[in-house]
Amino acid sequence: MTSRASTRSSSGLGSVTIMGYFLRLLLLFSTCVAFSLVASMSTWRGAAVNWSTFVWCFCFFMTLIILIVELFGLQSRLHLSWNSFLITCACYATLFCLSASIIFAITYIQLFPRSASQVQAIATIAFSCIASMAYATDVAWTWAMTGDLPCYLFTLPDLFKRLEIFVTCIIFAFISSPYQYLHRPALVWCVAMYAICFLLGAVALLLNWCDCDNRLPIPFSVFQLGLTLLSVLLYTSTVVL
C-alpha cells in the first residue's frame, strides 16, 4: 500500500498504467492528423485556421514533451507537482481542442460544397473532437489513478483566471494579422494590453504549478488580487478605446 501510494504521488498517468501511454499516443495521432489535414490545404486561410492550427500544434508538442518526460522518468527532477501539471494541461487542451472543433466547423463546413474539401474538413473536425475527448479522459484517468486533483481548479478566482487566459488566446488568433492594427495606435494599445494581461495570468498559473505561491513576500491572495485589479484596469482601457 505504501509503495503504491508513493508511486502515485511521484509520477504521472503514464508511469502508473499502460493506459496513460495509450492516451498519449492517441492524442499525438489525432492532433497530428488534424493539423496535417489543414496544412495540406493551402487554400484554407483566416483567423479560424490560424487558431485551430495553433491549438493542434501546441497540443501535439505539449503531449510529446510530457510523453518524453514520463518515458525517461524526468518528472521527479522538476520542481512542480507533476500530477497537478498533467491535469491542468489536459484541462486546457480539452477546452482548446473543443473550441478549435466548434470554430472550424462553424467557419468551414458550410462553405464547401459536397467535395473532397468538405470531406477533409469533416475529417479534421472529427480528429479534433477525438483529441478533445481523449484529453477529458486523460483528466479523469489521472485523477482516478492518483487521487491528486489540484484544489485551485475549483476555486472561483482561479477558474476565472484560466477562463481569461483561454479567451485571450482566442482573441490572439483573430488578431494574428498585423496589417489589421499596425497603423492604428488604439488597436496597437489593445493588442499590447491583451498580451500583458495574458502574461500576468500565466505568471499566476506558473506560481501555482511550481508551488511557489508561499515564497512570495506577500500573501498569494493579495498578489493575485493585485494582478486582477491591474488586469481589470487594462481591459477597461481596451473597451473604452
Give pLDDT, residue 222.
77
- Residue 227 sits in which domain range? 15-240
pLDDT digits (tens, 9 = 90+) for 13-72: 434 467 778 888 999 999 999 989 888 876 666 777 877 888 899 999 999 998 888 888
| H-assigned helices in 1-115 | 2-10, 13-16, 18-39, 47-71, 82-104
How far apart are alpha carbons 108 and 122 in whole angstroms? 9
How far apart are alpha carbons 180 and 178 in whole angstroms? 5
CB atoms within 10 A of CB 183: 9
Residue 55 lies in a domain: yes
- When mean pLDDT is compared across 50-59, 76-85, 229-238, the lowest value belongs to 76-85
Is the separation of the CB atoms in 24 and 93 below 8 Å? no
Buried b (16+ CB within 10 A) or exposed e, 61-75: ebbeebbebbeeeeb
Give pLDDT, residue 198.
81
Q: Output 87 or 213, whichever has higher pLDDT.
A: 87
Residue 110 lies in a domain: yes
Is the separation of the CB atoms in 86 and 138 below 8 Å? yes
Q: Is the pLDDT of residue 11 over 60?
A: no
Highest mean pLDDT out of 46-60, 138-152, 168-182:
46-60
Burial-class residue 51 by CB neighbours within 10 Å (0-12, 13-18, 19+): buried
Task: Output the nine-digit C-alpha cell for 103.
Answer: 470554430
How far apart are alpha carbons 134 and 137 in whole angstroms? 5
Residue 2 lies in a domain: no
Report, in this order, helix, strand and coil percent for the chain, each rounded to 5. Answer: 80, 0, 20
Average pLDDT over the chain, rounded to an integer = 76
Confidence of residue 9 (pLDDT cuts 50, 70, 90): very low
Q: Is the pLDDT of residue 238 over 90?
A: no
Give pLDDT, residue 129.
93
Q: Output 107 or 174, whichever has higher pLDDT.
A: 107
Q: How far is the first Cα of the chain from the last one, in angstroms, to the nearest whole number?
A: 60
Task: Output the nine-digit C-alpha cell for 38.
Answer: 489543414
Give pLDDT, residue 211.
61
Residue 7 lies in a domain: no
Residue 50 lies in a domain: yes
Give pLDDT, residue 204.
76
Residue 29 lies in a domain: yes
What 3-state class would DSSP assign to 144?
A: helix
Residue 40 lies in a domain: yes
Give pLDDT, residue 12.
40
Mean pLDDT value across residues 118-131: 88
pLDDT digits (tens, 9 = 90+) for 179-200: 666 677 888 888 888 888 888 8
Domain count, the chain: 1
Confidence of residue 157 (pLDDT cuts 50, 70, 90): low
CA atoms within 13 A on the CB side of 103: 20
Is the separation of the CB atoms in 126 and 30 below 8 Å? no
Task: Output the nine-digit C-alpha cell for 207.
Answer: 506560481
Residue 37 lies in a domain: yes
Confidence of residue 149 (pLDDT cuts 50, 70, 90): low
Task: Output the nine-digit C-alpha cell for 76.
Answer: 521527479
Count the residues in the chain: 241
